[in-house]
Amino acid sequence: MGLNNQWMQRDLAVLWHPCTQMKDHEQLPLIPIKRGEGVWLEDFEGKRYLDAVSSWWVNVFGHCNPRINQRIKDQVDQLEHVILAGFSHQPVIELSERLVKMTPEGLTRCFYADNGSSCIEVALKMSFHYWLNREQPDKKRFVTLTNSYHGETMAAMAVGDVPLFTETYKALLLDTIKVPSPDCYLRPEGVSWEAHSRTMFLAMEQTLAENHQTVAAVIVEPLIQGAGGMRMYHPVYLTLLREACDRYGVHLILDEIAVGFGRTGTMFACEQAGITPDFLCLSKALTGGYLPLAACMTTDEVYSAFYDDYPTLRAFLHSHSYTGNPLACAAALATLDIFEEDNVIENNKALAQRMALATAHLVDHPHVSEVRQTGMVLAIEMVQDKASKTAYPWQERRGLKVFQHALERGALLRPLGSVVYFLPPYVITPEQIDFLAEVASEGIDIATRSDISVAVPSNFHPDFRDPG
């Protein structure tokens, strides 16, 4: 029995993995990773895999980055953790100062959580509580986009709309208002991204006009709906949304957990719309992919609604045990240093262009309906019929074939259903991008030319997709 197999057997005896049907591993080998370096992950038998998905979208400067490593090592000898209620520490203060300075003007307060879902919960609770403190208790509903995803905790699920994640728990979720997504994949032929996004905003305008008296906030993923299949839209939608939220007296929550820190071509996606949200949710790349940390940023206007004498009970009594953990803050500070010192956003423009060039030939593939890109995120959508954009039944798991082929070739590509995507660390080289494009092209050929016989049940849900 090889080392990989030994570790796999030990794993399967005791672990329950996330976002996984564990029975799959009766046929699909689990891959134990021994070490990482740069864009590479290495298993216990020495095989390397190029991490094209940044280990679930968190890693920006490579595995075991020496600069981030050193900052954490220095911090662990100083302070590993301290309660953040009534106490503070240097890394969390410095990180907060830097986030306030680098984010859109007006975001002046940082509230920390442990992960992206928890950060969304913070924003939702703050918005609801703000209106309560402002003596407008009827404002307690949330507006969200179809095909959106904001996390796996209860309130975060409630403002999402990917059925695979939410359908089972529908009875437990908040009643939210869903508005059609501006997703430009669905635009009519010949219509531009901007024109389609403007047209799709009309539904949001009408929803706010009719419901603003009971709506606390609108929450969206700016520019890219990640778990919804890397669907993309034009920044003008965000510009119109900010104006409408101001006009109707509704908060705007931007979930930049996946798209913040350079993923869309600017440091934050909302910069491309020239707006400031009332709440900006950050996580994932915040620590360079090292440690769980999230920041919910908000304004002095929101902060002031909670600032009062204790007996009024206006305080925001929300907490996490590891809020503002010093080691995570140290990793975040090192990550921000790299952004500042290495001209990352500008360098990414060349990498993004290389991604476009390397995959341009797939536009003509008979089973590819679209190759779309926003900054350092590129997605290739496989379809059963190109002309009508008819999707493959999700039960056929075409993306799984791409995943398996990529592993054989030494790449970690983890499609979202039939959407193959690149979301690599920023330290990837042009040659490595070419390699990924080659592997993806081969995998798409294999996945789309094979006949797969799957019985589709009578309760078939066409909007479900393999989570990837």
| CB contact at 8 A, 223 and 374 | yes
Coil/strand/helix, residue 448: helix
Q: Is 255 annotated as a binding residue?
A: yes
Q: Is 414 annotated as a binding residue?
A: yes
Q: Is 116 annotated as a binding residue?
A: yes
Q: Is 130 annotated as a binding residue?
A: no
Residue 200: name the closest of 145, 270, 277, 269 by CA. 145
Q: Is 149 annotated as a binding residue?
A: yes
Structure tokens at 357: 């060039």
Q: Is 193 annotated as a binding residue?
A: no
Q: In degrees to the nearest 10, what's the CA dihedral of 319, 321, 324, 329?
A: -150
Q: How far apart are CA 113 and CA 156, in angstroms?
A: 14
Q: How far apart are CA 395 and CA 461, in angstroms?
A: 10
Could you tell me the end-to-end alpha-carbon distance of the chain, in angstroms, rounded to an integer? 29
Q: Is 56 annotated as a binding residue?
A: yes
| CB contact at 8 A, 51 and 59 | yes
Ordered DSSP codes for 381-417: EE-SBTTTTBPPPGGG-HHHHHHHHHHHHTEE---BT
Residues 6+ apart with CB under 8 A from 453: none
| CB contact at 8 A, 192 and 213 | no
Structure tokens at 417: 């259903």
Q: Is 55 annotated as a binding residue?
A: no
Task: Give the residue ranges of the annotated binding site.
Answer: 56, 116-117, 149, 255, 284, 319-321, 414
Annotated binding-site members for pyridoxal 5'-phosphate: 116-117, 255, 320-321
- Residues annotated in the binding site for substrate, as ranges? 56, 149, 284, 319, 414
